[in-house]
């Protein structure tokens, strides 16, 4: 499908409600832009500067952003989440830093499309799934945390079934598998192949070279990367990270501002719960911006 057709579809498709309309040919047409972990103010401004360019270039139906490092590199605040929604972000996913900022707790209990890992304890604030709709196409978004080297109260592999049941009948489902271990992410991709539109990995901040559509039709990548400073060490000023490793002593970490990039994937779909393609979209922050940091 030509890009212009996708753009027109996203803009003009009426809000359908009947199952018949949703299952008609073309009901699965969508483009999902998923943006990797936004790190600090530099990451937020890179996102805001790049989004209009990406919208014009790819006409995404949905924009989903991992925002768990958006507030000074750790956590997210209501103000930052609102800023992202105002910029046209459809849903925000989180991860192991979801609760770093206390002021986000009540916000996570609202109906805003912001999700923390579904396999956290039920007693923890927030929810693990949400559904957003654009032009009659519904996208279910699931946040999951890996269980290796990260603190998650329940298994990602059992709780995903509960999450998928909760989402119910939608055209597309995107799962953000926020995990340290590549093995868990690869396994989740295979586990969900043919049942969801995409499984995208986050958390390591380094994009991997394995983006592909699995045989059952699920788009997969082990890590999307981060939206933040490539000149640091996964977001931290590199001299501080190196000093910590050299001295083995506590070092105060600050977010690097050097060489900011947006790292994302674009998933194109023409059938329900299936991806036609997944491509990495990696771009430096535009040089001519005058936005305050
Ligand atoms: Fe993380």
pLDDT tens per residue, range 231-282: 999 999 999 999 999 999 999 999 999 999 999 999 999 999 999 999 999 9
Sequence ranges of the domains in the chain = 3-10+25-284
Query: Cα(102) to centroid of ligand 1, in Å?
Result: 17
pLDDT given for residue 287 in this prediction: 87
Query: Cα(282) to centroid of ligand 1, in Å?
Result: 20
Q: For the chain, give the mean pLDDT.
A: 91
Paired tokens of 39: 């790190």
pLDDT of 293 over the 70 cut: no
pLDDT of 290 over the 60 cut: no
For helices 40-58 and 78-86, what crossing angle results, to 10°? 20
Query: Cα(106) to centroid of ligand 1, in Å?
Result: 21
Please state the rounded mean pLDDT for residues 71-83: 95
**Per-position DSSP letters for 60-129, written without gaps between them:** -SEEEEE-TTTTTTS---HHHHHHHHHTT--EEE--TTTTSSGGGHHHHTSSSSEE--TTS-TTSSS-SE
Query: Cα(170) to centroid of ligand 1, in Å?
Result: 28
Say which of 97, 172, 191, 203 is annotated catalytic. Answer: 97
CATH class name, domain 3-10+25-284? alpha beta
45 is annotated as an active-site residue: no
pLDDT of 291 over the 60 cut: no
Query: Cα(138) to centroid of ligand 1, in Å?
Result: 27
pLDDT of 9 over the 90 cut: no
H-helix or E-strand spanning residue 207: none
Query: Cα(136) to centroid of ligand 1, in Å?
Result: 32
**Alpha-carbon distance 233 to 176, whole Å?**
22
pLDDT of 10 over the 90 cut: no
Query: Cα(233) to centroid of ligand 1, in Å?
Result: 14
pLDDT of 289 over the 90 cut: no
Which protein residues have their CB within 5 A of the ion that is ligand 1?
95-96, 203
**Alpha-carbon distance 271 to 140, whole Å?**
15
Query: Cα(4) to centroid of ligand 1, in Å?
Result: 36
Give the residue, 19 or 160, on which the prediction is more confident.
Answer: 160
16: pLDDT confidence band, cut at 50, 70 and 90?
Answer: very low
pLDDT of 161 over the 80 cut: yes
Please state the rounded mean pLDDT for residues 21-32: 70
The tens digit of pLDDT for each residue in 129-146 reads: 999 999 999 999 999 999
Q: Is 121 exposed, middle or buried (0-12, 13-18, 19+ CB in 10 A)?
A: exposed
**Alpha-carbon distance 17 to 195, whole Å?**
22
**Per-position DSSP letters for 46-58, written without gaps between them:** HHHHHHHHHHHHH
**Alpha-carbon distance 252 to 244, whole Å?**
9
**Lowest-confidence region among 18-32, 90-104, 156-170, 231-245:** 18-32
211: pLDDT confidence band, cut at 50, 70 and 90?
Answer: very high
Give the percent of the chain with pLDDT over 70.
89
């Amino acid at each position: 499908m030509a890009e212009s057709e996708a753009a027109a579809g996203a803009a003009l498709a009426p809000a359908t409600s009947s199952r018949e309309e949703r299952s008609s040919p073309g009901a699965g047409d969508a483009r999902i832009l998923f943006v990797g972990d936004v790190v600090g103010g530099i990451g937020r401004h890179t996102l805001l500067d790049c989004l209009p360019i990406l919208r014009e270039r790819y006409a995404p139906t949905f924009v989903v952003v991992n925002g768990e490092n958006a507030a000074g590199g750790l956590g997210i605040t209501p103000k930052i989440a609102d800023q992202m929604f105002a910029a046209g972000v459809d849903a925000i996913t989180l991860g192991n830093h979801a609760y770093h900022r206390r002021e986000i707790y009540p916000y996570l209990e609202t109906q805003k499309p912001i999700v923390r890992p579904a396999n956290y304890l039920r007693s923890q604030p927030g929810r693990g799934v949400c559904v957003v709709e654009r032009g009659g196409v519904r996208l279910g978004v699931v946040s999951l945390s890996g269980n290796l080297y990260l603190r998650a109260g329940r298994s990602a592999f059992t709780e995903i079934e509960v999450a998928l049941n909760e989402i119910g009948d939608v055209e597309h489902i995107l799962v953000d598998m926020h995990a340290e271990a590549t093995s868990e992410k690869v396994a989740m991709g295979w586990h969900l192949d043919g049942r969801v539109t995409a499984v995208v990995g986050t958390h390591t901040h380094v994009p991997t070279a394995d983006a592909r559509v699995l045989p059952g039709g699920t788009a997969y990548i082990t890590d999307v990367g981060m939206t933040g400073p490539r000149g640091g060490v996964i977001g931290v000023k590199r001299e501080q990270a190196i000093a910590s490793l050299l001295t083995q002593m506590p070092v105060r970490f600050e977010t690097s501002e050097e060489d900011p990039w947006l790292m994302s994937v674009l998933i194109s779909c023409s059938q329900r719960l299936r991806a036609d393609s997944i491509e990495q979209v990696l771009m430096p922050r535009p040089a001519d911006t005058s936005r305050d940091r």
